[in-house]
Homo-oligomer: A and B are copies of this chain.
Amino acid sequence: MVTIGDVAKAAGVSRSTVSYALSGKRKISDEVREKIEEVIRSLNFTPNAGARALATSQTHVIGLLARFLNDEFAPAMLQYILGVTDRARELGYDTLMVTEEDGLGALTRISRSRMVDGFVLLNVAENDTRLDTLRAAPQPGALVGLPSDTDGLDVFDLDFEAAGQLMVDRLFELGHREMILVSQPEHVVARGGAYVWRLANAARNRAADRGAVVHTYFGASQQPAIGEDLNRMLDTHPGATGLLVNNEAAAAALPSVLQHRGLRAPDDISVIGRFSDDFARTFSLPFSAVDSAAAELGRRAVEQLVLHIETNVTEHIVELIPPAIVDRGSIAEPRRRP
């Protein structure tokens, strides 16, 4: 393998000069620098990452801890991941992706062995067991998902409270007074998916404040259960004119459920979901929705993480991205009763 020594020899300079030419950390005469650059090109030299990491204590790798809970909707995870890997690369970092069950063990192992400069945690739960370890680690950490204790960490999430309010407001203003909210399954909440009840409570409270009602339900995260759930909800509340869907599987199942019942959105029922634009596109969901902002959250987490890695800022931030509705034409004034 070609080393910095080979380059130095071929260019007729010392290894330190090559190193400085590479880093730009001191002035090198044009003549020498050009010679070095030429040699680097002709020898195809790239510095050894391990050696560099050893010398600088910087790996230029970030650790991405992703949890794939088999009852959550895997496709949605991909957008967060791509947000992270793409932005990391733009900032000069590669991404070590960790998917093991034992996230805590992985975090400990990777942190102690100094394989990465920092961590991004996806799918963070209300009381995430990984957080204490992360706080005690020498590397900084950024989260996607809002835990109860955000101390010492940068946190990014969609503002689910505002999302719940926005969904209700939008329908309320069109005239809807009775709505159904389908949330993620109860076990997602039980496991610490606090965003589920953040959105649900906000929606219910906002409706109550304005003199409307939102019937809130947990729904299965897979077919056919979720389809049956939806039918049951619609049967139970024949007067409901609006459907809020905070559950990707439910959103994906909804077109056929509506079709089966002979309902059309927005003519017969207004539908507003909460999912990513990419998700909507892939499954052709004809429903207006609050965008999950998955890629953006991943990108923001990386940016803030890199800021902590590369500078000595000590403040941490909690950033809740304001919800935005992507209009796909599925909400309108409630149908006039005949």
Contact = CB atoms under 8 A, between A and B. Distances in A.
Given A75-B78, A109-B46, A260-B259, A284 B54 contact: no
A94 B98 contact: yes
Nearest to A56: B50
Tally of this chain's copies: 2
Interface in A80-104: 81-82, 85-86, 89, 94-100
Contacts of A64: 97
A114 interface: yes
A17 interface: no
Contacts of A282: 73-75, 222-223, 249
Interface stretch (A174-182, A190-198, A238-246, A250-258): A250-258
Given A252-B283, A256-B259, 13 more contacts: A1-B114, A47-B113, A50-B59, A50-B115, A54-B54, A61-B96, A74-B75, A86-B99, A94-B110, A95-B96, A95-B98, A256-B256, A283-B283
9 contacts: A46-B109, A46-B112, A46-B113, A51-B54, A61-B96, A222-B282, A227-B284, A256-B256, A259-B260
Interface of A: 1, 44-51, 53-54, 59, 61, 64, 68, 73-75, 77-78, 81-82, 85-86, 89, 94-100, 109-110, 112-115, 138, 222-224, 227, 249, 252-253, 255-256, 259-260, 278, 281-284
